[in-house]
A = this chain, B = another copy of it.
Amino acid sequence: MPDVITLITDFGMADEYIGVMKGVIVSIAPAVRIIDLSHNINRHAVQEAALVLGAAYHYFPMGTVHVAVVDPGVGSDRKIILLRAGGHLFIAPDNGLLTFMLADNTFEAAYEVANSDLFLKPTSNTFHGRDIMAPVAARLAVGLDVQAVGPAVDKAALFRLTLPPVTINRQLGTVTGAVIGVDRFGNLLTNIHVDDLGAVTGPAGPDQLIVTVREIVCGRLHNFYGAVAAGSPVALIGSRNYLEIGVNRGNAAKMLAAAPGDAVIVARVTGGAAG
């Protein structure tokens, strides 16, 4: 069974940067499987990449090495980190890309990628994805021990993004969060998890919840986009298990003029503790 390396970057697909990283990897690990998570992350959008990585990694086999290169600080003194969490390995600059893997209880160990014997030579100051992260990922995929990459790092020392809060008010029966992303279809991705909604769902079930974005009422929770008329907004639990707001056969971000940062409120229809 070949090992797997995933790649997520903000490099785009027009230049040779991704291909070159793969060339470096297969030169070291000829049988490894390489899967692209996304290379169209917006430039320097660390939070966007962190969200994608956090949503995607657990669909891959245990032992997969995930390489994330959104790296505005390349060449500065920011560290490169190898994180072992949840049975997966992650290699990324210490700039918040690993926030979601640090937020749950799956942490196992972290190391600074510092052993220059593992790097491509000469090692540039501008492309650590190619010269450091790709060769280290490849060596890990073919059996290098994680401790060989460099000294252990304390979990508390690792950089985490500050994310918008999710507030649950059981008495009012409300959950308040935010839009944190927009996908290709214009669907609004929020930071409200299906479990957050469970805390305010009455005995009548989740279809008694009303969703509001930017003070625009988007109606009750549904099960799929086509449950409302074409052109109407529809709130549902998306494929990431978080609340999403879409428009059936339309673009919610445009129609609701919504963007990351906008407030999202979910409220129980029949207020009160007995609701």
Q: Which residues from chain B contact A33 at a C-beta distance below 8 Å?
A: 26, 30
A157-185 interface with B by 8 A CB criterion: 183-185
Closest 8 CB pairs of A and B: A75-B224, A127-B239, A23-B59, A14-B40, A19-B37, A12-B184, A23-B60, A16-B56
Do B60 and A125 touch (CB < 8 A)? no
Do A236 and B126 touch (CB < 8 A)? yes
Copies of this chain assembled into the complex: 3
Instruction: Show 18 A/B contacts (Cβ-Cβ < 8 Å), sorted by A.
Output: A2-B30, A6-B23, A11-B184, A13-B36, A14-B38, A14-B40, A14-B183, A19-B36, A20-B56, A23-B56, A23-B64, A43-B184, A74-B224, A124-B237, A124-B239, A125-B223, A126-B224, A126-B239
Name A's B-contacting residues (CB within 8 A). 1-2, 4, 6, 8, 11-20, 22-24, 26-27, 30-31, 33, 35-41, 43-44, 52-53, 55-56, 59-61, 64, 72-76, 124-127, 130-131, 183-185, 223-227, 236-239, 244, 249
Do A72 and B27 touch (CB < 8 A)? no
Do A55 and B16 touch (CB < 8 A)? yes
Chain B nearest Cβ from A275, distance in angstroms: 24
Do B15 and A52 touch (CB < 8 A)? yes
Q: Which residues from chain B contact A59 at a C-beta distance below 8 Å?
A: 20, 23-24, 27, 130
Knowing A31-B1, A59-B130, A76-B226 touch, does A38 contact B13 (C-beta < 8 A)? yes
Assembled-state Cα–Cα distance A12/B15 (Å): 13
Q: A183: nearest residue on chain B (CB-CB)?
A: B15
Which of B12, B14, B31, B61 is the one whose CB lies under 8 Å from A26? Answer: B61
